[in-house]
Amino acid sequence: VAFTHVSNALGTVNDAKYWTERSHAAGATVLVDGAQSVPHLQVDVKDLDVDFYMFSGHKTYGPTGIGVLYGKEALLDAMPPYRGGGEMIGSVSFENGTTYNELPYKFEAGTPHISGGITLGSAIDWMNAVGVAAITAHEHELTQHAHAQLGDIEGLRFYGTAPCKAGVVSFLVDGIHPYDLGTLLDQLGIAVRTGHHCTEPLMDKLGIPGTVRASFGAYNTLDEIDRLAEGVARASSMLR
């Protein structure tokens, strides 16, 4: 069973521990996509009891081209490597065949992304120094403020209104395509993402072409949320 901890399209926080328990009860192995949760929430993989948990570097204030995969030792040990190369073997011979290196080297064939690993490590150190709980609280304040400010705009509808959310506000304005709204916001110096956010089945279920998504991080401010709301109001009036 594979599921996301936090929806990148809606910001909804799924109860990963509950679904892991249900999945294990049915005999399933569990993989959780934490790309949208690790930057915003305190994650304890042992408490969740997930079998595998992964997240990306670029959403965790780090570089692109690198990520992290956590796995339970017994499961990783039983898995064969997915690629071959230097450092991932213990020995190779025609007589005795191949033995693999110990974990985690068994899965690290060839030259790793050294600079990316160093940079991602520094980014994680920075998050821990600031405090993930402090980041979560700050982003919650930003999200609440965004809902309050954007909610006053005529015709604006939010998508993803679960009580437990993390760092994302998705919306549409009646009669305006999200691409058009995003283009005008870009011209105002406001960066949002528009489209289906790699979740086309979800958008089909909602009956919409996509949304405008504002994502918040530790570096964002309440003043920037006000600028976002002002920009959406201005762009909406121009496009109606």
Catalytic hit among 95, 198, 219, 223: 198
Specify the pLDDT at position 86: 84
Cis geometry, peptide bond prior to residue 39 (ω within 30 degrees of 0)? no
CA angle 218, 220, 223 (to 5 degrees): 150
- Indicate the number of domains in the chain: 2
Residues 6-41 have pLDDT tens digits of 999 999 999 999 999 999 999 999 999 999 999 999
Report the candidate in 137, 132, 112 with the shortest Cα–Cα distance to residue 60: 132
> Are 164 and 72 found together in one domain?
no
Active site residue 198: yes
Specify the pLDDT at position 93: 93
- Domain holding 226, by residue range, is 132-239
Tell which of 130, 156, 175 closes a domain: 130
Q: CA–CA separation, 132 vs 230, rounded Å?
A: 29
Q: Report percent pLDDT > 70 for the chain.
A: 100
Low-confidence residues in the chain, pLDDT < 70: none
CATH number for the domain that contains residue 149: 3.90.1150.10
Residues 218-234 have pLDDT tens digits of 999 999 999 999 999 99
Tell which of 110, 130, 150 closes a domain: 130
